[in-house]
């Protein structure tokens, strides 16, 4: 299959020397891209800035901002059979970019933010993608309920849910555990390396394709 993976954080510029971002390392997304290659698939990896090595044989599409990731996804989704959205996209970006470095002055400074596009939420509605669609849900509470809400809202085939409040897993860790949430059931994937977890997730994508016939 042709598999598209989004990964990493996005970077939302504020002025020439500053940006807003988040704690995503990109490890889970890069592990998914590697697993896809190891399992014999063609993989396009659309990634925000990370310090990771790009897996060999992956078609790599580097981006910085959520808007760039949105456009790259629109372009590359056209030839994908399945897409996994593991990127930690910034929900908001600064409303304007200051051409010059913002100088310190008053005791308080307010930064106006505007909503970024919801990339996963646009896949069915705006991009009319009909392939297998997988979202991620990183939650600090009500894991299954929140993941199920995302599954329905974004018309995913399944959602990979993980609790980010537990220590030793999630952000920047080499390990993770997850709950795969399907419309009619859920399946626990116990704590393991992100590499092993990625193999199971790509296999679950393949099974979802097979089920569709």
- Residue number with CB closer to ligand C5P (101 or 126): 126
- Residue number with CB closer to ligand C5P (58 or 161): 161
Q: Please check whether residue 153 is in contact with residue 137, taking contact to mean a CB–CB distance below 8 angstroms.
A: no
Alpha carbons 86 and 4: distance in angstroms, whole number: 10
- Residue number with CB closer to ligand C5P (58 or 138): 138
Alpha carbons 68 and 10: distance in angstroms, whole number: 9
User: What minimum distance in Å lies between the beta carbon of 136 and ligand C5P?
Assistant: 4
Those residues with Cβ within 8 angstroms of residue 187's Cβ, 6 or more apart along the chain or in another chain: 179, 180
Measured at the alpha carbon of residue 20, what is the angle toward residues 14 and 21, in degrees to the nearest 5? 150
- Chain residues in the site for ligand C5P (CB under 6 A): 6, 66, 85-87, 89, 91, 116, 118-120, 135-138, 150
User: What minimum distance in Å lies between the beta carbon of 156 and ligand C5P?
Assistant: 8
- Residue number with CB closer to ligand C5P (58 or 66): 66
Rg, the chain, Cα only: 17
- Is 22 catalytic? The answer is yes
The residue sitting closest to ligand C5P, measured at its beta carbon, is: 119
Q: Which of 22, 53, 116, 146 is catalytic?
A: 22
User: What minimum distance in Å lies between the beta carbon of 191 and ligand C5P?
Assistant: 21
Q: Please check whether residue 73 is in contact with residue 127, taking contact to mean a CB–CB distance below 8 angstroms.
A: yes
Catalytic positions are 22
């Amino acid at each position: 299959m042709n598999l598209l993976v989004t990964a990493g954080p996005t970077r939302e510029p504020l002025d020439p020397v500053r940006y807003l971002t988040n704690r995503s390392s990109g490890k889970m997304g890069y592990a998914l891209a590697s697993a896809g290659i190891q399992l014999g698939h063609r993989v396009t990896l659309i990634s925000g800035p990370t310090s990771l090595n790009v897996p060999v044989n992956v078609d790599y599409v580097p981006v910085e901002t959520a808007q760039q990731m949105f456009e790259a996804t629109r372009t590359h989704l056209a030839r994908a059979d399945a897409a996994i959205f593991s990127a930690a996209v910034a929900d908001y970006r600064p409303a304007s970019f200051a051409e010059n470095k913002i100088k310190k002055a008053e005791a308080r400074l307010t930064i106006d933010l505007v909503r970024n596009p919801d990339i996963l939420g646009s896949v069915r509605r705006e991009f009319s993608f009909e392939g297998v669609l997988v979202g991620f849900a990183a939650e600090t509470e009500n894991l299954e309920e929140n993941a199920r809400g995302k599954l329905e809202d974004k018309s995913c085939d399944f959602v990979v849910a993980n609790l980010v409040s537990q220590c030793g897993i999630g952000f920047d860790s080499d390990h993770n555990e997850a709950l795969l949430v399907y419309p009619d059931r859920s399946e626990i994937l116990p704590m393991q390396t992100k590499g092993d977890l990625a193999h199971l997730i790509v296999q679950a994508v393949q099974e979802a394709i097979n089920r569709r016939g």
